[in-house]
Amino acid sequence: MTTSCVLISLALVWFLPNHLIILSAQPPPFVYHNCSLGKATYIKPSAYYTNLNALLSSFTLDTVIDYGFYSSSFGESPNKVHAQGLCRGDVEPYSCRKCLNDAKTLLPKLCPNQKDAFGYYDFCTFQYSSRSLLGIYRFPEFSYSFNNPQDAEDADKYTSALNDLMRSLQTKAAAGDSSFKLAVGYKIADEVETVYGLAQCSPDLSRKDCKACLEKAISEIPNCCEDKIGGRVIKLSCNLRFEKVHFYYD
């Protein structure tokens, strides 16, 4: 009886640490993900499944890329797969690749048969599709938004400062080049509150499409975040964020 108890205890000692290591190796959950952007599906095994795995396995291998945007394709039509990853423009290359590696690992597990999938982390977005992605302003009407539930102390002044800031960031981001379409900044609302903001487009977008994408995102702010000190609007080709605190890296 005693021997049995000892053996069980030893098994638990060895099992629990190993189990914890396995858990810690799993990618963190997305802030948001979507598996229903398109109706096309694939089966396993199939040419599309093989091409998707090949593309994902090599997606972030190019360590020369230091501007946070990855875009590649693999295979031949009709089973060609396209993928894009966009990191927040203030994030260091190592953290960018770590974020995208987590995303490319987790997204196929959450969307196991969908040809179109999208995932959002704080530091990056990642998507893949059977349709071309490069230079395409995808699904203009799609957006996902959420807020910081705390109300601004002076909602009128805060909202006015936020509107001015976002219009300025929209113009600056759209004027970016093929590596960066990013703008950050702040606007003083009153003596106790300052609003900080970030606006970013996928750098492969045209200036016109970037501006249009951010215009749609800005128009969502009253719906998700009216009178709030913070909020985010996530679209497939652009995103914006604002907070009362300095949240981005200079």
Do residue 46 and residue 105 come from a single domain? yes
Give the model's pLDDT for residue 250: 82
State how far the Cα of 50 lies from the Cα of 237, in Å rounded to an integer. Answer: 26
Q: For the chain, how many structural domains are there in total?
A: 2
3-state helix, strand, coil in the chain (%, to 5): 35, 25, 40
Give the model's pLDDT for residue 211: 98
Give the model's pLDDT for residue 13: 33
Give the model's pLDDT for residue 181: 98
Give the model's pLDDT for residue 6: 32
Give the model's pLDDT for residue 64: 85
- What domain range is 151 assigned to? 144-243
Do residue 89 and residue 167 come from a single domain? no
Residues 37-78: tens digit of each pLDDT: 988 999 999 999 999 999 999 999 988 888 999 999 999 999
Write the DSSP assignment of 167-217 as a string of letters.
Answer: HHHHHHHHT--SS--EEEEEEE-SSS-EEEEEEEE-TTS-HHHHHHHHHHH
DSSP-derived 3-state class of residue 60: coil
Could you tell me if residue 11 is inside a domain? Answer: no
Do residue 104 and residue 158 come from a single domain? no
Give the model's pLDDT for residue 228: 98
Do residue 125 and residue 153 come from a single domain? no
Residues 76-101: tens digit of each pLDDT: 999 999 999 999 999 999 999 999 99
Could you tell me if residue 21 is inside a domain? Answer: no
Structure tokens at 3: 């021997």
Give the model's pLDDT for residue 62: 86
Q: Which residues of the chain have a pLDDT value below 50?
A: 1-24
Could you tell me if residue 136 is inside a domain? Answer: no
Beta-strand relationship, 69-74 and 32-34: unpaired
> Phi-psi bin for 56: left (phi > 0), alpha (psi -120 to 50), beta?
alpha
Could you tell me if residue 201 is inside a domain? Answer: yes
Do residue 160 and residue 83 come from a single domain? no
Could you tell me if residue 165 is inside a domain? Answer: yes
- CATH code of the domain covering residue 94: 3.30.430.20
Give the model's pLDDT for residue 5: 35
State how far the Cα of 84 lies from the Cα of 67, in Å rounded to an integer. Answer: 13
Q: What is the mean pLDDT of the chain?
A: 90
Give the model's pLDDT for residue 100: 97
pTM of the full predicted structure? 0.87
Could you tell me if residue 167 is inside a domain? Answer: yes
